[in-house]
Each structure stands twice: as structure tokens, then as C-alpha cells.
Amino acid sequence: MGFTRPAGKSTIDVVWKAALLLLCAACGSNQMLTPPTPVPVASVPVTSRAVSGTVLASGSPVQNALVDLLGVGGFHYAFTGPDGRYRLVDPPTGPTVLRIGKWGFRTQMVSLTIDGDVSRSVTLLPGNSPPPLAIGARVASVVKLDDMICATSDPGTEDGEGGLGLVGPCKTFLLTVPKDGDLVATATWPGKDMYMTVLTASHGRCCSSPLTLRFPVTAGSMVELAVSLHASDLLPLGATAPFELTTTLEQGGGANR
């Protein structure tokens, strides 16, 4: 049996010879292969900033306090955690007012200028007791941006399950219920562009005038009733909201949100 040349070997020889010739030519001319020059990439400046701090009362952290910025034309808010801490990320630069408050405490208003990270911690003081209001009486008052902050746990409102529903500055009144029935509270105010709420800690309703909140009550109970300004952080500094509030006690028929 004769020896057979492997198929394709002549082609391989030609390729290797060509490669060797190219290498020799490069060596003879003292040329070396160099990697391409990297193209520089422009760096992007970091512009992230935050306003942060801790809210305390009598040395203890305050949870679920509202912290927001006023006078900046947008929603920039947060609620404090169990440790009382808050953080507002990427707020607009320039002068603003930091508002901190919760139902039962006096609202704090802090003027500051934001040009980077800002740290502000505050201590809240107890709020004033609400004035008494007789059922059947009519009262006129005004809500201001620095009034006490109210919120409801009504599950029929946004964020109500967490006790943060319809949050905003408010005027409060204390009612004593003489008998079982439904308390009917109606608020009226001028201005179609002003949104307000009528609420208690567990019931609430928003947003247009006239606005009526109805819920069951029992004889001898005390009800703290509030009229609150909704989306107040969109309003200009110094804005006020006048209103009138009337209450009646009717035969029980269930809540009407």
C-alpha cells in the first residue's frame, strides 16, 4: 500500500509561508504593532443633592411627620421613619422654606438656601388645644401654611391606610357629642382653584366646596374635627384659605365619605 499525502496540506504550507514572510518583513523594517490610542470620555458632573435630618419631640423620634418644601412650585415632600429621620432627594436649588409638622404639634418653618446637601434637624413642640365648637353652630376661620398638620387614617382616602391620608395644614375644633347619631360637618370656601378637606383622625373627605363629611358618633364622645388645605405645597408662600364650617347631629344612618 503506497503513502497518500494528506488532503489540503499544500494549502496550509502556502498560508504559513505567507505569514512568515510578513513577520520577517516587519522585523526587517523594525516596525512593531501598537494598540490603538484610547479616546477620552468626558466625565459627567454629579449633581445629586439632598435635604435630610431628624425630627424629635421631648428627645424621642417623631414618626410620620410631614416634611416638605414650600415656594418651589412642585411636590417635594417626605414622611419621617420610625427613627424620626427624613430625606428629600434632588430638591430645586435656591431659597425655600422647609416645613415640618404632625397632628398634635406646632408646625416648624425653616428658611434655607439649597446649593448642595443640607442637614436640618428640628424639635417639635406640643400644639395648642383646639377650641370647643358647639354642634349646630357656624364658625368662620382661615387655614395658613404654618398651621398644624392634620392627616386621616380613613382607608377610603389616598395613603389613608398608613394614617397619612389628606395630609395638610388645618384648623381644628373640639366637639362634644350629646347623643348617638351621625355627625354631619359641612365646609364652604371661595375659589374654585382651592382644594380643602374635612377630616378627623379616622374619617376624611376632599376636595371641592361645598364639602360634607358624615360619620357615626356616640353619646359622650369627643371629636376633634379639622378643615385642612389640600396640596398646600403648590401654593405660594403666604397663601391663606378662608372657610366656614357648620355641624349638625342627625339620626344614625352610617358614614358618607
pLDDT confidence of residue 243: 98
74: confidence class by pLDDT, cuts 50, 70, 90 = confident
Answer whether residue 235 shows pLDDT above 70: yes
pLDDT confidence of residue 14: 39
Who wins on pLDDT, 159 or 198? 198
Residue 40 maps to a domain: no
Which of 127, 153, 170 is where one domain is finished?
A: 127
Find, among 140, 135, 207, the residue nearest to 171 by Cα: 140
pLDDT confidence of residue 10: 42
Which of 127, 152, 180 is where one domain is finished?
A: 127
> Across all residues in the chain, what is the average pLDDT?
86
Answer whether residue 85 shows pLDDT above 80: yes
pLDDT confidence of residue 138: 96
pLDDT confidence of residue 20: 41
Q: Which residues contact 135 (CB under 8 A, 6 or more apart)?
A: 175, 176, 177, 178, 183, 247, 248, 249
Which of 127, 162, 194 is where one domain is finished?
A: 127
Do 113 and 237 share a domain, yes or no?
A: no
pLDDT confidence of residue 48: 81
Least confident of 10-14, 164-168, 207-211, 214-218: 10-14
Per cent of the chain over pLDDT 70 is 80
Do 155 and 257 share a domain, yes or no?
A: yes
CB 168 within 8 Å of CB 150: yes
Give CA–CA dist 182/217, Å, rounded. 6
Give CA–CA dist 235/146, Å, rounded. 12
Least confident of 16-25, 39-48, 156-165, 244-253: 16-25
pLDDT confidence of residue 196: 97
Do 112 and 132 share a domain, yes or no?
A: no
Domain containing 176 equals 128-257
pLDDT confidence of residue 166: 96
Do 89 and 196 share a domain, yes or no?
A: no
C-alpha of 133 from chain center: 32
